[in-house]
Structure 1
Amino acid sequence: MRSRTPLLASLVTALALLTVPIPAAAQESAEGTYIVQLRPTLGKAPRTAAQDQMAQVGGELVGVYEHAFKGYTARLSASAAEQLKRNPNVLTVEPDAEVIGFPQTVPTGVRRIFGPANPNLDIDGTDDVRINVDVAVVDSGVDQTHPDLNVVARANCLTGLCVNNSGTDDNGHGTHVAGTVGALDNTIGPVGVAPGARIHGVKVLNAAGSGTLAGIAAGLNWVVARAATIEVINLSLGCNGCSSSAISNAITNAVNAGIVVVVAAGNSHVNTSSFFPANHPDVVTVSALTDNDGLPGGAGGSTLSCRSETDQDDTSAFYSNFGATVEITAPGTCIYSTWRGGGYSTISGTSMASPHVAGAAGILTSGTRKPTTRAGSLAVRSTLIATGNSNWTDDSGDGVKEPLLDVHDATRY
């Protein structure tokens, strides 16, 4: 069901960081951070246009973007922002806003989607098969030294400017997401849906699990600049009631470049229609299933191994957002995965459901199957939905039953 949820961070790669001298009076009047989207038809390079506009209105340039969309982030006074809105070369001027992560052996989730039943994945406790795919985890960062993860690149985009080879996961959320996507099939910890997938950790959330739209814009820009390498983006974050034209265009441009964008629906147990970017029409929005035993049939009872609440096995998770904007569901309750500091943890949320689908998208786009067009990306979304099963109980009350992720078919996955 295509429901919408509090938004995850948007992906935009920061092209460059430019600071220009500005008068002390202008610095004193700076009141906030804004994302400025330039018109796509603008003849000037985004960097040049941004510098010219800052010289005209006064302000402090933070980051410039040219891959996911043409634009920049700047510190501006309210009056300067209004002045920019009247500039014929400017498409939108949007105030920055806060976004949050949706937090909360063979893990039960991987078993429930029939990962071990697919011989192509060779889940057997031996690290002899790694899925040939690159997945960007746009989140709180990823523990790049974790022994159970294959982290090949990272960037810290918290400020609206991306710094390569930087960005420690000081929260744990991003490392947990990365493990569900692609933890190694070895003798320690869990195994991911796409074992050994190459992880690109893009830090847009801080130690408290929150970030800004500007950081997401920078992160998405970083990813889209690497569209020739990266097949899938996971966004287990977002905000309720917020929106951003710049980030929406960044997501569209990521999909146009062939990247599959997977987003968590949110954990407020409401309709996802107001959650951004879960309500974006091009993404794969994922709700959460409670699965207590890793098996179909609903016989796992209602006792949760990691929480004080109860929730019946094989039903909609009691916290999950729902609605017509949701495309697919996946296990999200009491999911065991990697954690910061080389550790492991069991937590819950649609943030934990989304990377199951991102891992499955990684399998579908691995090797020579990499999409390079919008049609190719959306075809992967269609396959994820078409290969799902209905062997679960949708008790959300929204009247639309989304399929449950199912990767058992070796002819497709």
Structure 2
Amino acid sequence: MRLLLLGGVSLVVAVAWVLVPRADADVIAPYVVVFEDGVDAKAKVAELEKAHAFRADHTYVSSITGFAAKLARRQRDAIARDPAVVSVHEDKALRLAPPTRSTRGATLATGVRRIGGGTKGATGVAVAVLDTGVDLSHPDLTALVGTNCVGGASRRLSAVSDGHGHGTHVAGTIGGKGGIGVAPGTTVYAVKVLDDAGRGSTSQLICGIDWVTANASRLGIRVASLSLGMPGEPDSDCGRSSRDALHKALCASIANGVVYVVAAGNAATDIAHDVPAGYPEVLAVAAMSDSDGAPGGKGPPVTCARSERDDSFATFSNYAADGSHIVAAPGVCIRSAWPGGGYRTISGTSMAAPHVSATVALCIASGRCRGSPAAILRQIRADAAAHGDSFTGDEHAPIARRHYGDLVWAGTY
């Protein structure tokens, strides 16, 4: 979709940036509106709703100040002229980092063993799973209601059930019992930002980030796990130069003490063209393949993905050009929880990311990871490099211009 940058950016008067497609005056489209810092978002949204006859789907108060709503062009333009409004953005589509393969096979979870996990939970540390929801009744999970960001203003905030399966699988890899979880028994909060078809939007993801930011301290949420993304060109200043509302929201949440772990994506390309994995403040996760739970490259053929081989980078995994904020984890043939009390084996960076989310939670719980999220990310990457449990394509022998990172090691914590 072709985007136009509208608004008098060269004028002396303050006019909000409006990043939107061309549209007729009466066409209704979804937008994210960002206010000036310090604006009382709830009061301002109520004022704008009354003045322009719309109803906001989301109101943001903790990560950014603003709202999301479906607006006609005339409403959008009028709101953009309000002195409290900094920018108005098209609400872009968000996608899962979709699993590359899926099977109902009952193969044991070798990925947990490969990174030294599965022996203890992250006591006192909770992980927010921003995904398709979670099956709260699954017997292997310690999962609690976070919030529901899917649907309009009348949605039920506690409706976090998972009609897709992806979020439950992710939660199982983080804290599942019975051998499927890196940190078994760890509390996960279900933050539903994608619908049961795996579809979402920028406004829904910001809604989830806003909830995490507001509740992190009270609920002990130190880590947020995101196995999703969309095309984008990350900036290096938390969205200030590009007016990126999602980047701004993430940076505010990180400043509040939350570590964001993000799947790199499954297009075998550079994360520099994908967000939020490309944002330098997050920990991006590439996928590697393991078939026996041990190093050395001597494992049997990978049964659910014949093109992959033991102890090598996953052929589908995205990578980073500079390797500054990426690590690797098992992401091929990962067995984990599935809605209805079942299990499923799936491949993708979506499956690698929760291995790292659990590892970060364990590191924080152990006291080894301290300080700011940036300091914690440096510690995780340093410990991964120091452990030296290598695979083909890691930082010990990187492929030219393709950094998959070092393999994380939960056994340290």
TM-score by length of 2: 0.82
Q: Does 1:207 align with 2:196?
A: yes
Q: Is the 8 A contact 2:63 2:252 kept in 1?
A: yes
Aligned match of 2:158: 165
Deviation of 1:253 (Å): 1.2
Separation in 1 of the partners of 2:402 and 2:162?
39
AA partner of residue 349 (structure 1): G
Deviations along 1:17-71, one digit per CA (max 9) or x if unpaired, are xxxxxxxxxxx935111111111033xx211111222344443322211011111
1:1-400 residue pairs with structure 2 within 5 A? 29=26, 31-42=28-39, 45-104=40-99, 107-115=109-117, 121-122=119-120, 131-159=123-151, 163-184=156-177, 188=178, 190-228=179-217, 229=219, 230-241=221-232, 245-301=244-300, 303-307=301-305, 309-323=306-320, 324=322, 326-366=325-365, 375-389=371-385, 390=388, 391-394=390-393, 397-400=400-403
Q: Is the 8 A contact 1:233 1:262 kept in 2?
A: yes
Separation in 2 of the partners of 1:369 and 1:386?
12
Deviation of 1:396 (Å): 5.3
Measured at CA, do residues 270 and 368 of structure 1 come closer, stay the same or move farther in structure 2, by a change above 3 Å?
closer
Deviation of 1:393 (Å): 1.0
The SS at the match of 2:410 is coil
Q: Is the 8 A contact 1:290 1:314 kept in 2?
A: yes
What stretches of structure 1 move > 4 A for 4+ residues in a row? Answer: 367-371
Aligned match of 1:4: none
Aligned match of 1:25: none
Q: Is the 8 A contact 1:154 1:166 kept in 2?
A: no
Unaligned runs of 5+ in 2: 1-24, 100-106, 235-242
Tell me: higher relative CO, structure 1 or 2? Use CA pairs within 8 A at least 6 residues apart: 1
Aligned match of 2:405: 402
TM-score by length of 1: 0.82
Moved more, 282-291 or 360-369: 360-369
Separation in 2 of the partners of 1:96 and 1:296?
44
How many aligned residue pairs are there?
362
Deviations along 1:294-330, one digit per CA (max 9) or x if unpaired, are 11011125x32223x4112111101000113651011
Separation in 2 of the partners of 1:130 and 1:285?
21
Separation in 1 of the partners of 2:202 and 2:71?
16
Deviations along 1:362-409, one digit per CA (max 9) or x if unpaired, are 1122277896xxx52211111110011441111754254521111222
Identical aligned residues as a percent: 35
AA partner of residue 109 (structure 1): G
Q: Is the 8 A contact 1:152 1:198 kept in 2?
A: yes
Deviations along 1:115-171, one digit per CA (max 9) or x if unpaired, are 26xxxx35xxxxxx6633210000000000000000122322112657433221000
The SS at the match of 1:288 is strand
Deviation of 1:242 (Å): 7.0
Deviation of 1:177 (Å): 0.3
AA partner of residue 225 (structure 1): A
The SS at the match of 1:231 is strand
Aligned match of 1:21: none
Measured at CA, do residues 41 and 225 of structure 1 come closer, stay the same or move farther in structure 2, by a change above 3 Å?
closer
The SS at the match of 1:286 is strand
Q: Is the 8 A contact 2:226 2:263 kept in 1?
A: yes
AA partner of residue 28 (structure 2): E
Measured at CA, do residues 254 and 319 of structure 1 come closer, stay the same or move farther in structure 2, by a change above 3 Å?
same
The SS at the match of 2:79 is helix
AA partner of residue 79 (structure 2): L
Measured at CA, do residues 55 and 136 of structure 1 come closer, stay the same or move farther in structure 2, by a change above 3 Å?
same
